[in-house]
Amino acid sequence: MLYGRFAPLVKSEGAELLDVEIASENRETYLRVAIYHPEGVTLDLCAAVQKVLSDDLDQDDPMPGSYTLEVSSPGLERTLKRPKEFEVFKGQLVKVTLFKAIDGKKSFEGKLLGLAGGDGDTPEQVVIDAGETTLAFDRKTVGSVRLVYQPRAQEEGGGRNER
């Protein structure tokens, strides 16, 4: 419900909505919104999206009680859930974790190629390029697909001072 409501508002600020989550932590309720922009999510972009969403919620708040609205980037090691996320992060390094092991192995890393199938005849599959081979996992057997953080190499001369 909130995803469909928020998506055009986030788009009006030049970003894409990736996820909406309601979470309770230490007796506090949070409405968490993850946004994406191909050039990166800045603090200014988060503030602009938070304002437009807050203004909308002030007009017609569908959530009872008090809560905190949080707007952020998807995070460095985000778990991918929605088909849009598989599209947005295509080409990124991911770790696929399965519910049951295949040949004694439950996790696989590779570049995300996306989702395939799911058209009724074939089950939806998570597809990765594992270097020497392309792997496809039935999405029902996948526990999680998570981005793998890869720190950028420091530019020459830009490292820490050594004494």
Query: What are 67-83's pLDDT values in tens digits?
Result: 999 999 988 888 998 88
Same domain, 13 and 62: yes
Return the CATH number at 124. 2.30.30.100
State residue 154's pLDDT score: 53
User: What pLDDT does residue 151 have?
Assistant: 80
Residues 109 and 54 in one domain: no
pLDDT at position 54 is: 95
87 and 57 share a domain?
no
> Does residue 152 lie within any of the structural domains?
no
pLDDT of residue 163: 41
Domain membership of residue 55 as a residue range = 2-72
Helix (H), strand (E) counts: the chain? 3, 8
Instruction: Give the start-end residues of each E strand in the chain.
Output: 16-25, 28-36, 68-72, 93-102, 105-116, 125-129, 134-138, 142-147
Residue 54, φ and ψ in degrees, nearest 5: -60, -45
Report the pLDDT value the prediction gives residue 162, as an integer from 0 to 100.
45
N-to-C CA span, the chain: 57
Q: What does each C-alpha distance from 134 to 3, 110, 117, 125 come to in angstroms?
A: 32, 9, 15, 12
The residue among 72, 99, 131 that closes a domain is 72
Same domain assignment for residues 67 and 14: yes
Same domain (yes/no): 50, 103: no
pLDDT on residue 40 = 87
- Report the pLDDT value the prediction gives residue 98, as an integer from 0 to 100: 95
Which of 72, 92, 108 is where one domain is finished? 72
In total, how many domains does the chain have?
2
Does 104 fall in a domain?
Answer: yes
Whether residues 63 and 90 share a domain: the answer is: no
Question: Which CATH number belongs to the domain containing residue 24 in this structure?
Answer: 3.30.300.70
Q: How far apart are CA 121 and CA 161, in angstroms?
A: 59
List C-alpha distances in Å: 15 to 68, 73, 75, 97.
21, 10, 15, 29
- Does 102 fall in a domain? yes
Give the per-residue pLDDT at 42.
93
- Report, as ranges of residue numbers, the positions in the chain whose pLDDT lies below 70: 152-163
User: 14 and 40 in one domain?
Assistant: yes
Whether 141 is in a domain gets the answer yes
Q: Within this chain, do residues 63 and 88 fall inside the same structural domain, yes or no?
A: no
By the 10 Å C-beta count (0-12 exposed, 13-18 middle, 19+ buried), 128 is classed as buried
